[in-house]
Structure 1
């Protein structure tokens, strides 16, 4: 690990000022991803701004729904009664991620900012445009079993690995961030992460120095809370990142679907919400045939690479399974 300057922030204003003053500075909260990257010499921050003392852990009702503090841990969030009762999809997704020990340390803001687990990103002897812009993408022509099948570019085929964000996409969440000048803005979760395009080194649309303050959840529409399910398919039963995951939520009127949310994880550079699948579902009877048509629509534009074509069929079956469980038909 390389030398770095350590700064402990007393408040949000001093935190954003300390970070924005240095281009290679990073915020430090739980550190469950950042410290690993520093040890592997992938991340090389010159300053760490410790924000763990900031009062950003509260989880509370708001007029619009629920506000979840950026520094609340994944464990605190998943187990909170307001989350478990009103947003069970989020609880399921968080519990599916990592180990209990990591969930006890990982914060909600840090979870949104976690970086890809692409092997070429972690191997500093290999080319990676995400790690070093312009160096090339080793995974595109290399071993790409865990790489993207949707939304990838010639510059990058990495996937976003998180579980929590996949559920947040289905819940229409917004991310509240604070700029160094004190102003705050809300970013729709679907606009928070980026597709790689020509700038794969940029994971999200935060400006340098902006601090995640909270995640805002609207009141669940209709029966979304009751008819939701998070499905994670992985190589082993625990402590593994998804090969494919699906966050599914349905608002049902009897056996008919009024609204739907279908989001796939680990298939693209960001969680992939499928408007095509949702359009197939709306107004239809909730049954396996309908869900299969939705799954076909969700994966219709998939572009598999040499070693990950299995993700297309796995994705279809996962969408069907998640919708079956969300509808209580399975």
Structure 2
């Protein structure tokens, strides 16, 4: 229904939107830029998600944010008023730890990231380095001869969001990755965070720097890699064609939907806007076409009146 047409739901009749609502049973939503921003809920997002759940939809939150554990994300969501459970939260920090656990990983992890990653590694008994600052000491020659120390038994480099990213960290990561047996794992490749007046680098910026230096491609855990939702499909908790992916970023959220065979909804409260979609529609690059969502809304809360109408119809 409306496959890759970027149809504005506000241009449809209530009957048409109701038919669309009936076309999916499960909802997977991005968090930052869709449900909340700067830790505050976006207008209407809480009621919309809760009413979708009340309408009988299965609800999941899927975030590339690796700075928090699932438990912390649950606490945040509940505090904001969302009716969500920990089993319904999909996070890259948890998924990274689960990936290494499935591989029966027994070495040590060099972490460029935050305690969200290290706490999830702790939860599955995987040894790792600590997080925090690792600053440049002296000039390059002094750093290389006196201060650069590589740790033994490093079998994986995990890169997430790290506000203390530095030259020493990049040097160490690339040095560990010179061993082809050392795993290179990126929690996600989001380039930047949505900010109104400045640009804040995302994990993808750090991943790109290490990728260039190490001359290696990472295993990407988060969106748009379909592996992050694979367990939901394998356990038959969702049916791809009857699942809606909601996001504000086309190259992660919408592309994940495309890769998994989900329906897709782009909202205009984050990274990508209708002007971006227009460029992809005009493009001759087939990869750009994958970024075009099925439907669009200025904000998720705009869906609430349609949901309430659908509930009235259902109750009658």
Structure having the higher Rg: 2
The structure carrying a bigger strand percent of its residues is 1
Fold shared, TM-score > 0.5 on shorter chain: no
> TM-score, structure 1 length as denominator?
0.26
The structure carrying a bigger helix percent of its residues is 2
